[in-house]
């Protein structure tokens, strides 16, 4: 495999790591507060929209290199139809959870409002980060070449690290509620023997 690496794969690795670093930096509260202070609050309401735009544009060079310099094939799914069916189910799961969020706030069209109300989708009963879990399914349910393996590996590590960083912020917001949630629900990989009961869900999501 190492003999099949070329300079474009090194560039791809650097782009992928840089993308994850910038994405994490822009999502951090400290950076958002710095930008808010620097701009005197002029872009506060549009920060989410700018964040999503940068995230989308940042994927372009990665995608171009992926298709232009794929490298040697490492793994081909023996049943492509199964691969696509699993991916479709993951996409449907993602779309299903969207209805539990304010889409305009998520995109950045309207201002994001902080809340101490613990609102979760049914999938959150089984995994604390269902979007990351579903994204990992989509990422790895593909035929894999060297370029794709590099990117998939970097983004998988980022999802793991991002989960830990995100949960620090969630503990600051929800306190003991989220700590209880952590103890009862796995972070990224669902466990059939560990999930949030309906009664515990009601307790966590009720208003104070």
How many CB atoms sit inside 10 A of residue 14's CB? 11
Closest listed residue to residue 150, CA positions, set 139, 161, 141, 135: 139
Taking the CB of residue 150, how many other CB atoms lie within 10 A of it?
22
For tokens 């023996």, what's the residue? 78
Q: How far apart are CA 138 and CA 183, in angstroms?
A: 27
pLDDT in tens, 29-60: 889 888 888 888 888 888 888 898 999 999 99
Angstrom distance (rounded) from CA 118 to CA 102: 14
Query: What is the per-residue pLDDT for 1?
Result: 53
Residue 103: pLDDT above 70?
A: no
What is the C-alpha to C-alpha distance for residues 162 and 98, in angstroms, rounded to an integer? 20
Rounded to an integer, the average pLDDT of 155-180 is 90
pLDDT in tens, 85-100: 999 999 999 988 888 7
Report the percentage of the chain scoring pLDDT > 90.
54
For the question of whether the overall pTM of this predicted structure is more than 0.95, the answer is: no
Closest CA to 145 of 87, 65, 90: 65
* CATH number belonging to domain 2-205: 1.20.120
Higher pLDDT, residue 173 or 68: 68
Instruction: Report which secondary-structure segment, H or E, holds 75.
Output: strand 73-75
């Amino acid at each position: 495999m190492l003999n099949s690496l070329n300079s474009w794969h090194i560039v791809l690795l650097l782009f992928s790591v840089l993308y994850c670093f910038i994405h994490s930096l822009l999502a951090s509260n400290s950076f958002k507060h710095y930008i808010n202070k620097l701009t005197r609050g002029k872009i506060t309401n549009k920060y989410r929209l700018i964040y999503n735009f940068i995230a989308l544009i940042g994927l372009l060079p990665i995608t171009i290199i992926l298709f232009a310099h794929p490298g040697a094939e490492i793994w081909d799914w023996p049943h492509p139809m199964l691969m696509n069916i699993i991916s479709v189910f993951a996409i449907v799961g993602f779309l299903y959870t969207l209805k539990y969020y304010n889409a305009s706030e998520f995109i950045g069209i309207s201002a994001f409002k902080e809340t101490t109300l613990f609102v979760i989708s049914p999938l959150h009963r089984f995994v604390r980060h269902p979007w990351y879990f579903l994204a990992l399914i989509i990422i790895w349910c593909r035929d894999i070449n060297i370029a794709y393996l590099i990117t998939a590996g970097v983004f998988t590590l980022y999802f793991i690290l991002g989960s830990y960083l995100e949960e620090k912020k969630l503990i600051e917001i929800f306190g003991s509620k989220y700590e209880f949630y952590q103890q009862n629900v796995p972070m990224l990989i669902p466990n059939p023997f560990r999930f949030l009961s309906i009664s515990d869900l009601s307790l966590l999501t009720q208003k104070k």
